[in-house]
Amino acid sequence: MKVTLNDIAIVGVFSALAFAGAYLLLPLHNIEIFTTIIFVSGYLFGEKVGTLVGVIASALFAILNPFGISPLPLLLVQMASRGFVGYVGGRFGKMNLAERGRPYRLFAFGLAGLVLTWVYIILALLSGIFTSGFSIEQLKVSFVFGIVSYSILSVGNILIFALVLPFVTDALKRNPYLRQLGAPNI
């Protein structure tokens, strides 16, 4: 995987945007644009850039989090799952969803937000086996007690992905400077 100087700059900018976006909505419980920004980086610049942005932004946020650093198993899950978000964003960028009409795009983006959120939730829960020594039964109890938080996160990401992301990606695709940066999905 060849990484160019241009890729490094784009990864740096989008990692910083995602990191800042994570702090922007921190006071709102489980409402975030962190995942969306990572997805957009992949959507515009491809799987490689999106994956790198997801890994780097997650590492920065997990290590510099005001609530404390994530335990290593959770940190690895966060980095891997957010890298996956950037990768999926890159795959979505190649799908030409605009040709299928707005209702299809809204549904596809909303579904992506839901699935990516639950990939993260499930992996983070499973990391509890290593971080806290929980048994499967204790993880089930933890899941039940967290269902309200997971629901808020899921609904928030569905709405942001379905109702905001199509307009943001359309606006960004019209930006002539992104073409000059070599965004392959524009």
| Count of C-beta atoms within a 10 Å radius of residue 164 | 14
**All domains of the chain in start order, with CATH:** 5-180 (1.10.1760.20)
> Mean pLDDT for the chain?
91
Whether 135 has a pLDDT exceeding 90, the answer reads no
pLDDT band at 139 (very low <50, low <70, confident <90, very high): confident
Percent of the chain with pLDDT over 70: 99
Whether 183 has a pLDDT exceeding 80, the answer reads no
Which pLDDT tens digit goes with each residue over 71-117? Answer: 999 999 999 999 999 999 999 999 988 788 889 999 999 999 999 99
Q: Which two tokens stand for residue 94?
A: 């190649």
45 burial level (CB within 10 Å; 0-12, 13-18, 19+):
buried
Whether 155 has a pLDDT exceeding 90, the answer reads yes
Cα 89 from Cα 79, distance rounded (Å): 15
Which pLDDT tens digit goes with each residue over 21-56? Answer: 999 988 898 999 999 999 999 999 999 999 999 999
Phi–psi pair at 143, nearest 5 degrees: -60, -45
